[in-house]
Structure 1
Amino acid sequence: MPTTTTGHAADDPIPARVRRDRTIDLLRDREFVRVTDLAEAFGVSEVTVRGDLDHLEDRGLLKRVRGGAVPRHMAEPERTFEETAATAKAQKRVIARRAAELVQPGDAVILDVGTTTTAIAGELAARADLSDVSVFTSSITIALALEAAHPRISVVVTGGTLRPKQHSLVEPMAGLVFSHIHARLAFIGCNGVDVAAGITNVNLPESDVKRLMIRAAATRVVVADAAKLGQVALAKVCDLEEVDVLITDDGADPEALADLRETGLDVQLAPLRGPLTAEGRT
């Protein structure tokens, strides 16, 4: 009796649970599996294989790509603000410059916690053309970065419980501020941006505050360097449909960008090449 490459008889269907477990095993070895190869190996239709892959993606065990699937690489555990600040400096700087260009005199702006948003604060402080701007933040580092721009930029810091790792403030006080304001812009940081999983973050308390920020702004802008695209962290912040713009660097994978744009998300690229990242200025 003919058998498949998995050792089962062709007329003896492999149970779905077994197929899916073996698919994950294959991914660990190959880093990519094709729908056609899995269908042949398991002796099932490509429609059945796609159903298996959809199921595994919903469980966060793999990521669907054109023609097959790749492993789901989870975002790394939370690092301190100082550790994060030492990585992707050039990317964060060009993203911050692009984000700051969206701010106009008289705006009310929300700045989330994070190293990229702190870079945005630095860019705003350096813009002499800005006046009557109000910034609402739960970040102590952002408040300090904007102090030099007073009184052109006024800063409101939410109360709450201190998280020393990020120099941030979390509930129970943030809701008292964000439930009473209507900002034009919110700049949100994160640890992962994924078509299926949406915007995710490495810790739960700050994810709660991010959701409050998103609800308090007319335009929601996620700022994330290219390494965060396709990543999924512990805590769900929101679906992609709940944000308006993603600003990332132009080192991002073109296929990942195409997938994100297919959702309707406005993806803007900050160029790494140019005067901003010339030698000696990164």
Structure 2
Amino acid sequence: MNFQLRKQKILSLLTEKGEVETAELARALGISEITIRRDLNQLSDDGLLYRTHGGAIPVSEPDSPFEFVNKAAANQAAKDKICRKAAAQINDGDIIFMDCGSTVFRLCQFIKNRKIKVITNSLPVIFELQHSAVSLNIIGGEYDAARQAIHGTMATEHIQRYKAGKAFIGVDGLSAQGLFAHSEKEAAIATALATQSSYTYLLCDAGKIGKTSYLNFAGLELVDAIITDGDPAELKYCKKKGVTVMGV
């Protein structure tokens, strides 16, 4: 039985019972306790459960009041691979920026157990992380109902008051000409986050590579690294600009 199947069964039993023990899971799945412990540790790192002494309990959250309509469900498998790689770049104690992009939103599930501070303008990100180990700083400003995010002059001024070690941002398109966005508001937030961060990661699925949209808001130099499921060979122009390309 591979990890994905074991994961489904573990989470199903956890939902059914409310709490599980390592020995109980080993018997139910017919595998060793060593393997179960390794699986539980991985699921805990991904924010899908909480480890206890000898077992695990579920991550309990109320039903979300937000319907995140900004493509959060599109290309989930690719986005999750990207975000698992992104989460590996985050350490306890880090201060990070997260924008309101749909790929960045998927990062939440992988960092819930991290003792970090997140500064964000995304209401769905805030909701996802509110009952976790993460400390939150909510960017203030004008509420954009369509994007469920905070934008505007006050938001960028808020960001300028803080420094973060790492920023995680998304774009609507990426080409040799630079980074593209659908709106000036989102471009302004992404630029502000990257400017106030020591190191900026662009989370970009393959569908956005080579794509241009309404606004070419920055050169490739705005970011330090790109994490993508796309073909690194297509991003040679990024490497020429000194941008690290991290495949998944």
Q: What TM-score does the superposition give when structure 1 sets the normalisation length?
A: 0.61
The question of 1:224 aligning with 2:204 is answered yes
Partners of 2:175 and 2:242 in 1: CA distance: 13
Number of the residue aligned with 1:166: 147
Partners of 2:232 and 2:84 in 1: CA distance: 22
Cα contact 2:173–2:179 (8 A) shared by 1: yes
Alpha-carbon offset, residue 206 of structure 1: 1.2
SS at match of 1:148: coil
Cα contact 2:70–2:102 (8 A) shared by 1: no
Cα contact 2:232–2:245 (8 A) shared by 1: no
Q: Structure 2 matches for 1:198-217, cutoff 5 A?
A: 198-217=178-197
Partners of 1:248 and 1:240 in 2: CA distance: 15
Number of the residue aligned with 1:121: 108
Number of the residue aligned with 1:262: 240
Alpha-carbon offset, residue 172 of structure 1: 2.5
Cα contact 1:192–1:200 (8 A) shared by 2: yes
Alpha-carbon offset, residue 234 of structure 1: 1.2
Partners of 1:134 and 1:237 in 2: CA distance: 27
Report the number of matched residues: 182
Cα contact 1:210–1:237 (8 A) shared by 2: no
Q: Structure 2 matches for 1:122-141, cutoff 5 A?
A: 122-125=109-112, 128=113, 130-131=114-115, 133-141=116-124
Distance 1:260 1:135, change over 3 A: same
> Which of 109, 128, 134 is matched with 1:145 structurally?
128
Alpha-carbon offset, residue 203 of structure 1: 1.1
Partners of 1:114 and 1:124 in 2: CA distance: 16
Q: Structure 2 matches for 1:151-190, cutoff 5 A?
A: 152-190=133-171
Number of the residue aligned with 1:84: 71
User: Per-residue displacement from partner, 1:254-279 (whole Å, max 9, x unpaired)?
Assistant: 54123332332100011xxxxxxxxx
Percent identical among aligned pairs is: 26
Aligned Cα root-mean-square deviation (Å): 1.6
Gaps of 5+ in 2: 1-66
Distance 1:83 1:135, change over 3 A: closer
Cα contact 1:195–1:263 (8 A) shared by 2: no
One-letter identity of the residue aligned with 2:110: E
Partners of 2:235 and 2:153 in 1: CA distance: 36
Q: What TM-score does the superposition give when structure 2 sets the normalisation length?
A: 0.69
Larger Rg computed on CA atoms: 1
Distance 1:105 1:178, change over 3 A: same
Number of the residue aligned with 2:224: 244
Distance 1:93 1:199, change over 3 A: same
Alpha-carbon offset, residue 155 of structure 1: 0.6
Alpha-carbon offset, residue 81 of structure 1: 4.6
SS at match of 2:226: strand
Number of the residue aligned with 1:76: none
User: Per-residue displacement from partner, 1:3-58 (whole Å, max 9, x unpaired)?
Assistant: xxxxxxxxxxxxxxxxxxxxxxxxxxxxxxxxxxxxxxxxxxxxxxxxxxxxxxxx
One-letter identity of the residue aligned with 2:108: A
The question of 1:94 aligning with 2:75 is answered no
SS at match of 1:122: helix
One-letter identity of the residue aligned with 2:244: D
Partners of 1:123 and 1:189 in 2: CA distance: 17
SS at match of 2:107: helix
